[in-house]
């Protein structure tokens, strides 16, 4: 989660989300292990070493805390979660419903 927060203001944001979610949910990787995260990001042409190092930054840690608190206030209870207006869609299997709601 901190890697995602560390990339939030960069061009690496969307690719990092995709890489990390696939690593966790499709490949079953233990993303609590910094070396696994670094290797995974590096294999996908991101600077894994730099991104993992940024996870120790107090600004990144605070961003995660603030975003987690905001998500809880909005009723989010897991990832991935999507809002279309005020409607919450939870889970990857809801992407078709998200697309329909956006249309």
Per-residue pLDDT tens digits of the chain, which is 103 residues long: 999 999 999 999 999 999 999 999 899 999 999 999 999 999 999 999 999 999 999 999 999 999 999 999 999 988 889 999 999 999 888 999 999 999 9
- 67 assigned to some structural domain: yes
Q: Is the dihedral of CA 9, 83, 38, 66 positive or negative?
A: positive
- 91 assigned to some structural domain: no
DSSP-derived 3-state class of residue 75: coil
- 20 assigned to some structural domain: yes
- 41 assigned to some structural domain: yes
- 93 assigned to some structural domain: no
Residue 91's pLDDT is: 87
Q: Report how many domains make up the chain.
A: 1
Domain housing 12: 2-76
- 12 assigned to some structural domain: yes
Q: Kind and range of the H or E element at 24?
A: none
- 83 assigned to some structural domain: no
The percent of the chain in helix, strand and coil, each rounded to the nearest 5, is 60, 10, 30
């Amino acid at each position: 989660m901190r890697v995602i927060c560390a990339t939030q203001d960069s061009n690496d944001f969307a690719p990092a989300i995709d890489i990390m979610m696939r690593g966790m949910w499709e490949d079953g990787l233990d993303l609590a292990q910094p070396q696994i995260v670094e290797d995974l990001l590096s294999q996908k042409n991101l600077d894994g070493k730099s991104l993992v190092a940024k996870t120790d930054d107090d600004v990144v840690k605070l961003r995660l805390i603030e975003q987690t608190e905001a998500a809880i206030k909005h009723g989010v209870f897991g990832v991935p979660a999507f809002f279309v207006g005020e409607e919450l869609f939870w889970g990857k299997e809801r992407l078709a419903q998200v697309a329909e709601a956006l249309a």
